[in-house]
Amino acid sequence: MEVAVNALIGLLIIYIPIIAVLTVGVWFFFRNLGALHNLTAWQAARSYLRKDLAVGPLSLLRVNRVYKAKMRRSGVIGPSGKPMPVRKITIAMPGEDYRFVQQFSIPAFSQQLAEYRHKYALKQGWYGPGDNPVPVSVWPNETLRRLNPVLSYEDARDGLTRPMTADAGRSDDARTEPVNGLAWVTFKGKQWVLRPEDSPYRLGRAEDNEIRTVHDQISARHATLRHSGGSWVLEPLKTTNETKVSGRTITSPTPLASGSVITIGQADPIRFDAGTEVINAGG
């Protein structure tokens, strides 16, 4: 009996500190998660464990699993052995998914999907072993729910873009668009999509601006966003308050990279993002 008690005490001495450290670690995780979403640690834990993805953070493993399944089911003809002539696959990714994956690199994630899709296409007999992977383009769509991307493909025969997924095209908000040059800006929770063909865009607090950013320190017509030479350029106009791009004051037309933060005086930051295309069509 004494031996059993001593063994039990020994186990408790070993495992109690380990359990305590793990418990404290989990508590800190959910406390910080809750702070990000204005929740208590308990509310954050409950939301995360029930996979309420609108609150809890996604795991890269979960995103990979869902997106690979979407790519696997994206066959236009199905496993019939017939070729599927596709030039490019475009993914309209829910905005929250996009921002999460962006932490790990959108191009790397897109390339992984392209390679996965190519292996599946080879298995189904759609392509030959010597064919190159079909390029995959990714751009964000704030109207889509998390883990519900919309896939489309460009048909090599007529150049038209058609939906792959069953839920694509049900509403105008879920339409697919070419990624080349597509970008968007975000200010105080509101977003504007930028398309090269509609460039330039006027930015300021006046009502007739395409991008209306209302703040006392933003001029009525503060700047212009223009698509030029394959990239978006911010051109500040003559204004009282200085304009900065990612912390650097600018006074002349300045190219914007995806993720650039535009600040004007003490106004809320304006974020610029762009769609990303990976894997050249030639290989």
Nearest to 209 by CA among 183, 189, 237, 181: 237
Cis preceding-peptide flag for 85 (omega within 30 of 0): no
Per-residue confidence in pLDDT tens, the chain, 283 aa: 666 767 777 777 778 888 888 888 888 877 877 776 667 888 777 777 765 555 555 677 888 888 888 887 766 555 555 556 677 888 888 888 888 887 778 888 888 888 888 888 887 777 777 777 888 888 887 778 888 888 887 766 666 667 765 444 333 333 334 456 778 888 887 878 888 888 899 999 888 999 999 888 899 899 999 998 878 999 998 777 889 998 899 989 999 987 789 999 888 899 888 765 443 333 3
Q: What are phi and psi of 234, to 5 degrees?
A: -100, 125
Nearest to 89 by CA among 65, 104, 105, 67: 67
Show me where the domains of the chain are located: 2-49, 60-174, 183-275
- CATH code for 60-174? 3.30.2320
- Tell me how far apart the alpha carbons of residues 60 and 42 are, in angstroms, rounded to a whole number: 23
C-alpha distance from residue 140 to each of 66, 151, 177, 198 (Å)? 16, 12, 10, 19
pLDDT of residue 150: 85
| Domain 60-174 and domain 183-275 have a common topology | no
Which of helix, strand or coil describes residue 20? helix
Residue type at position 82? K
Q: Which CATH architecture has domain 183-275?
A: Sandwich (2.60)
Which of helix, strand or coil describes residue 13? helix
- Tell me how far apart the alpha carbons of residues 40 and 210 are, in angstroms, rounded to a whole number: 39
β-bridge partners, 162: 153
Q: How many CB atoms lie within 10 A of CB 234?
A: 22
Give residue 200's Cα distance to chain centre: 24
